[in-house]
Amino acid sequence: MNDELRVIISGGGTGGHIFPAVSIANEIRAKRPDAKILFVGAEGRMEMQRVPAAGYPIKGLPIAGFNRKNLLKNVPVLIKIMRSRSLARKIVREFKPQVAVGVGGYASGPTLNVAESMGIPTLLQEQNSYAGVTNKILAKKARKICVAYEGMERFFPAEKILFTGNPVRQNLLDTSVLKDEAVRSFGLIPGKRTILIVGGSLGARTLNESVLGNLPLVKQQSKVQFVWQTGKYYSEQIKAELERRGCPENLKVMDFISDMKQAYAAADLVISRAGAGSISEFCLLGKPVILVPSPNVAEDHQTKNALALVQKSAALYVADADARRTLLPLAINTVEDHNKLESLSRNIVQLARPNAASDIADEVIRLAEEEK
């Protein structure tokens, strides 16, 4: 075998899977500029656009997830899985990787399963505190499993686990962004406390309804201001509602925030869902946060992610069912409590793993070199 490094990275479906995958690829390329990296994703999913935009080739599999509520609808899914496995075998044979990396998401199942059956070493990256079904199955033959939370021996063999943390977008670490400038960039007033409300690129209905249901409370705040990302899906509906009811001057409403670096710099407190990628960013930045886990995720893993921080006094937690009533009052009380903000920041930053992508890349390269 020649000295050229060849790596397959498979998975995706959401930004929480794609950003870490691209971060790992970037680190591999930085350490080994000769590396050939091929992504394998799911047709029609977000990775088919995001990965090429990041400068990497990608192949798509016709894969879909199981319908857990209606088992009869899974016959077409089984056919897609068989087709995906056949295509994954063809991709692996033609590309000849020395190692395959799975980051979660539909495509990682058939791709890593085929690689394992062909004797190619595999590495898994499990982002959540509660392991996904696919990774639990793949772990049996995986060489290494990189995790971001303690106690993952519940799901994986302890001798395979590496505690690396989750890779995050490195541009968020730009310390040249000044808080006052960031606040002004949103048309708000420096010196006031700022709460950032983000529900992901598509938005989160509960977070949006929590703001809409508390507009009078928002308007009453003379020392607190808000940056609210509604998500593109809800944007028009919220815009119409605010035109009817009036938008408070201390509430900056955006359907999508393209520069999260500025948004985080402006924020004294963040309100967010509890996706693993977002949590890793809050840890790295030492950002006080109130987590409102989405109830619409597999194995309720966002609640488990949130509680892992709450147990270390590193975040506050509001259940989705309670958010409309309690979230905004809690956020306002918290952002005005300087000692509470300092305590949350001090505790959450201790959970940061700033070298996660580099550490995972080192392990990928080591596994590949073992095969030479």
Report CA torsion sign: 238, 13, 60, 258.
positive
Together in a domain, 324 and 303: yes
Is the Cβ–Cβ distance between 335 and 275 less than 8 Å? no
Measured in whole angstroms, the distance separating CA 357 from the mean position of its chain's CA atoms is 14
| Three-class secondary structure of residue 68 per DSSP | coil
Asked if residue 209 and residue 162 are part of one domain, the reply reads no
Specify whether 141 is located in the same domain as 187: no
Shared-domain flag, residues 15 and 156:
yes
Q: Give Cα 86 distance to the centre of its chain.
A: 29
Question: What is the number of other CB atoms lying within 10 angstroms of the CB of residue 28?
Answer: 25
Q: Residues 334-342: contacts with CB within 8 Å, 24+ apart?
A: 334/269, 334/288, 334/290, 335/193, 335/194, 335/195, 335/224, 335/268, 335/269, 336/193, 336/223, 336/224, 340/288, 341/268, 341/269, 341/288
Distances (CA, A) of 188 to 125, 290, 338: 39, 22, 20
The CB density around residue 50, as the number of other CB atoms within 10 Å, is 19
145 and 58 both lie in a single domain: yes
- Sign of the CA dihedral 208, 210, 213, 217? negative
Q: How many CA atoms lie within 13 A of 4 on its CB side?
A: 8
300: tokens are 């309720």
| Residue span of the structural domain in which 120 resides | 6-166+354-370
On whether both 14 and 96 belong to a single domain, the answer is yes
pLDDT for the residue 372: 66
- 227 and 195 in contact (C-beta within 8 Å)? yes
Q: What are phi and psi of 205, to 5 degrees?
A: -55, -45
Which of the residues in the chain have pLDDT under 70? 1-2, 15, 65-73, 75, 77, 201-203, 372
Specify if 231 maps to a domain: yes
Query: Within 13 Å and on the Cβ side, how many CA atoms surround 362?
Result: 7
Domain identity same for 158 and 295: no
Do the domain assignments include residue 320? yes
Residue 86's CATH number: 3.40.50.2000
How big is the chain, counted in residues?
372
Query: What is the total count of domains within the chain?
Result: 2
How big is the CA angle at 213 (ends 210 and 219), to the nearest 5 degrees? 100
For residue 303 the two structure tokens come to: 């609640």
Q: Are both 85 and 225 inside the same structural domain?
A: no
Residue 125: what are its φ and ψ, rounded to 5°?
-120, 110
Query: Which of 85, 130, 128 has the alpha carbon at shortest distance from 108?
Result: 85
Q: Give the start-end residues of each E strand in the chain.
A: 6-10, 36-42, 58-61, 99-102, 122-126, 144-147, 161-163, 193-198, 224-229, 251-254, 269-272, 289-291, 316-317
Report yes or no on 291 lying in a domain: yes
Domain annotation covers residue 64: yes
Same domain, 133 and 239: no
Predicted local confidence at residue 1, as pLDDT: 43
Token digits of residue 35: 């590396």
* Residue 14, domain member (yes or no): yes
Coil, helix or strand at residue 64 = coil
| Residues 226 and 195 sit within 8 Å (Cβ to Cβ) | yes
Q: 3-state DSSP call for residue 174?
A: coil
Question: Are 72 and 151 within one domain?
Answer: yes
Answer yes or no: is 99 within a domain: yes
- Do both 181 and 152 map to the same domain? no
- Are residues 109 and 210 both part of a single domain? no
Assigned domain for 1 exists: no
- 134-177 pLDDT tens trace: 899 999 999 999 999 989 999 999 999 999 999 987 777 777 78
Q: Which pTM does this prediction carry? A: 0.85
Q: Does residue 67 lie in a domain region?
A: yes
